[in-house]
Amino acid sequence: MNNVLFLVDIDGTLLRVDRQVTRGIWAETWSNIIGGKVPWERLDTAAGKTDLQILAQLLGDPDYACRIAANFFDELAECAQRSIVSTSIQLCHGARSFLVEAQKYGARLVVLSGNERRIGWHKLRTAGLDRFFLEGFWGCAVLDRHHLPPIARDWALQQGLVEELSRVIIIGDTPNDISCAHRYGFVALAVASGPYSIEELLQHRPTLCFPDLHHAAVSLQRIFDNPAMNRRLIIAIDGPAGSGKTTTAQLLAERLGYTYIDTGAMYRALTLAALESGVPLTDQTLASLLESIMIELRHTSHGQRTYLNGRDVSERIRQPDVTALVSLVSSFPSVRQAMVRLQQKLGRQGGIVMDGRDIGTAVFPDADVKVFMTADLDTRAQRRFLELHASDPSLTIDDVKRQLDQRDTLDSSREYNPLRRADDAFVLDTSALTIEEQVETILRHIRNKFAMSNSVSQD
Ligand code: DC
């Protein structure tokens, strides 16, 4: 299990600090830095919020909060270090045994908390829990804790703590912790040891929900054995041109920490090679051409780039001459067989989002998640037109519509592996959706498919 990363919340999950003590620290700091009394009536709840978010809400002005944050938190941290002592802290039931057990399983433990960094470490030290954690990610610099999980995940990967993450598990006591996990496809383990009851937490569909960490600790084996815990999914996205596949698949992969594989770019690179070499377009010539060239999808800080024999052709393969021929090139059976084999090799280890025309039907008919994206022709043409118009002002929307229609007809009528919706695919009509809504809808679908929601353990 040493490829599992646990991101653990502090307050309400591991421990509780006497409310009077916390309020006293804020009152003293507020009076010293801002003057007057803390307007607590402005804060609905502190649970699940970051310290910077609490400060912004109390001030009613996020910009002002960011400007004074360094000063305010210096004072707050100093005050907390003086005032929070072991008698002001109560450990949540089972907190220590959970951390001990999780470590025995080889899980990597990291703090993910809304606390200011020094205050968070001070609480953990005072409670004797700091030694369990390799690092912490804190809420003193971000207004929204939703920004923290991918930072923690990328840090763990960069440090080489985990060669390949199979799972990231967020453990917390609030709906905010659950939604942090959902946003990135992580496992959400909720505990009702904070201000929210099990029933309230279940409404937010955590993957697992326990009364407290004691119950989670005795169920660790069951948690790890659960199939949803250990998989790096294969996500297949198919659909016609302009349905939004590429942008959605890219964003989805980013959110999940997965690799994005654009199979259209592979067919396009072969088409470019054919154009440049001038070979006749037959099944046999194209199949041998494919054997003699090297197509690579490299992941760079500028997103995925396509290389043909070591040359970056990412922009070149989107030019009209390539687009006009790619459907024909990709219709030859030997070309498709070779490409499918290559794509299966690229994706079989999982943790991928692959988009194309035949991913859910031919490349990975057993994919964990299959999405078929569609949109009406007018919407797709409008999207493509906006993309292409800048580089080719002579293009009209009718030209684009005609080309898309032609390409769809060719792609769906070819004999071998045509564009077709897999029977078990989730159909997503994107005509009236924004990119963000498309990503959210797919994540929700994945969550519903794999969530072990309502699995409350009270034994
Ligand atoms: O997604 P795209 O527009 O870049 O794809 C270019 C062409 O490649 C598309 O018209 C059909 C073909 N293609 C395919 O046949 N099978 C795939 N898996 C991906 C693309």
pLDDT above 50: residue 313: yes
Q: What is the mean pLDDT of residues 200-219?
A: 89
419 and 327, same domain (yes or no) = yes
Q: What is the mean pLDDT of residues 244-267?
A: 91
For residue range 152-164, list pLDDT tens digits in order: 988 988 887 766 6
Domain boundary (228, 251, 272) is at 228
β-sheet with 295-300: strand ranges across: 295-300, 303-308, 311-312
Q: What is the pLDDT of residue 451?
A: 58
Q: Which residue has the higher pLDDT, 207 or 355?
A: 355
Residue 136 three-state SS: strand
* 302 Cα–ligand 1 center, Å: 22
Confidence class for position 149, pLDDT limits 50, 70, 90: very high
Q: What is the pLDDT of residue 259?
A: 86
Is residue 101 situated within a structural domain? yes
Q: What is the mean pLDDT of residues 425-446?
A: 92
81 and 113, same domain (yes or no) = no
48 and 190, same domain (yes or no) = no
Q: Which helix (H) or strand (E) holds 91?
A: strand 89-91
Residue 134 sits in a domain of what CATH number?
3.40.50.1000
Pocket-testing residue among 319, 325, 330, ligand 1, by greatest number of atoms within 8 A of Cβ: 330
Candidates 98, 106, 134, 101; CA nearest to 2 is 106
Q: What is the mean pLDDT of residues 307-324?
A: 94
Q: Are 257 and 348 in contact (CB under 8 A)?
A: no
* 375 Cα–ligand 1 center, Å: 16
Please give the DSSP secondary-structure letter assigned to residue 92: P
Is residue 312 situated within a structural domain? yes
Q: What is the pLDDT of residue 11?
A: 96
Pocket-testing residue among 246, 250, 267, 413, ligand 1, by greatest number of atoms within 8 A of Cβ: 267
pLDDT exceeding 70 applies to what percent of the chain? 95
* 418 Cα–ligand 1 center, Å: 10
Q: Are 217 and 97 in contact (CB under 8 A)?
A: yes
Q: What is the pLDDT of residue 183?
A: 86
* 96 Cα–ligand 1 center, Å: 53
Query: The domain containing residue 382 runs over which residues?
Result: 234-450
By mean pLDDT, which of 113-127, 207-221, 282-296 is the weakest?
Answer: 207-221
Is residue 458 situated within a structural domain? no
Q: Are 4 and 169 in contact (CB under 8 A)?
A: yes
182 and 320, same domain (yes or no) = no
Pocket-testing residue among 260, 263, 316, ligand 1, by greatest number of atoms within 8 A of Cβ: 263
Q: Can you read off the two tokens belonging to residue 181? A: 């996990």
Domain boundary (88, 108, 142) is at 88
For residue range 86-97, list pLDDT tens digits in order: 999 999 999 999
Burial-class residue 345 by CB neighbours within 10 Å (0-12, 13-18, 19+). Answer: exposed
Q: Can you read off the two tokens belonging to residue 436? A: 């963000």
DSSP line for 273-300: HHHHHT----HHHHHHHHHHS-EEEEEE
Give per-residue burial for 294-313: e unless 16+ CB within 10 Å, then b.
ebebeeeeeebebbbeeeeb
- For ligand 1, atom 4: residue with the closest CA: 264
Q: What is the pLDDT of residue 459?
A: 39
287 and 433, same domain (yes or no) = yes
Q: What is the mean pLDDT of residues 341-363?
A: 93
Q: What is the pLDDT of residue 452?
A: 45
- For ligand 1, atom 13: residue with the closest CA: 264
Q: What is the mean pLDDT of residues 427-433?
A: 94
Q: Can you read off the two tokens belonging to residue 421? A: 């919706």
* 264 Cα–ligand 1 center, Å: 4
Q: Are 37 and 27 in contact (CB under 8 A)?
A: yes
- For ligand 1, atom 9: residue with the closest CA: 327
34 and 131, same domain (yes or no) = no
* 263 Cα–ligand 1 center, Å: 7
Q: Give the other-Cβ count within 10 Å of 18's Cβ.
A: 15
Q: What is the pLDDT of residue 335?
A: 96
Q: What is the mean pLDDT of residues 231-246?
A: 90
252 and 134, same domain (yes or no) = no
Q: What is the pLDDT of residue 457?
A: 44
84 and 99, same domain (yes or no) = no
195 and 326, same domain (yes or no) = no
By mean pLDDT, which of 60-64, 123-127, 290-294, 411-415 is the weakest?
Answer: 411-415
Q: Which residue has the higher pLDDT, 459 or 330?
A: 330
Is residue 410 situated within a structural domain? yes
Q: What is the pLDDT of residue 142?
A: 84
Domain boundary (88, 103, 135) is at 88
Cα radius of gyration (the chain): 26
223 and 267, same domain (yes or no) = no
Q: What is the pLDDT of residue 120?
A: 97
Please give the DSSP secondary-structure letter assigned to residue 152: H
pLDDT above 60: residue 458: no
Residue 335 sits in a domain of what CATH number?
3.40.50.300
* 240 Cα–ligand 1 center, Å: 8
The ligand 1 site (C-beta within 6 Å) comprises: 241, 263-264, 267-268, 326-327, 330, 356-359, 407, 411
Q: Are 375 and 244 in contact (CB under 8 A)?
A: yes
Q: Can you read off the two tokens belonging to residue 401? A: 């519509």
pLDDT exceeding 90 applies to what percent of the chain? 69
pLDDT above 80: residue 108: yes
Please state, rounded to an integer, the average pLDDT across all residues of the chain: 90
For residue range 365-409, list pLDDT tens digits in order: 999 999 999 999 999 999 888 888 887 888 899 999 999 999 888
Q: What is the pLDDT of residue 2?
A: 60
267 and 222, same domain (yes or no) = no
Q: What is the pLDDT of residue 163?
A: 60
- Alpha-carbon gap, residue 49 to 43, rounded angstroms: 10
184 and 255, same domain (yes or no) = no
Q: How many domains does the chain have?
A: 3
Q: What is the mean pLDDT of residues 421-442?
A: 94
- For ligand 1, atom 6: residue with the closest CA: 264
Is residue 426 situated within a structural domain? yes
- For ligand 1, atom 3: residue with the closest CA: 241
Confidence class for position 277, pLDDT limits 50, 70, 90: very high
pLDDT above 80: residue 222: no
Q: What is the pLDDT of residue 28?
A: 97
Q: Which residue has the higher pLDDT, 447 or 298?
A: 298
Please give the DSSP secondary-structure letter assigned to residue 456: B
* 436 Cα–ligand 1 center, Å: 23
Q: Which residue has the higher pLDDT, 203 or 63?
A: 63
CA dihedral 447→114→15→160, nearest 10 degrees, is 70
Confidence class for position 168, pLDDT limits 50, 70, 90: confident
- For ligand 1, atom 2: residue with the closest CA: 264
* 348 Cα–ligand 1 center, Å: 20
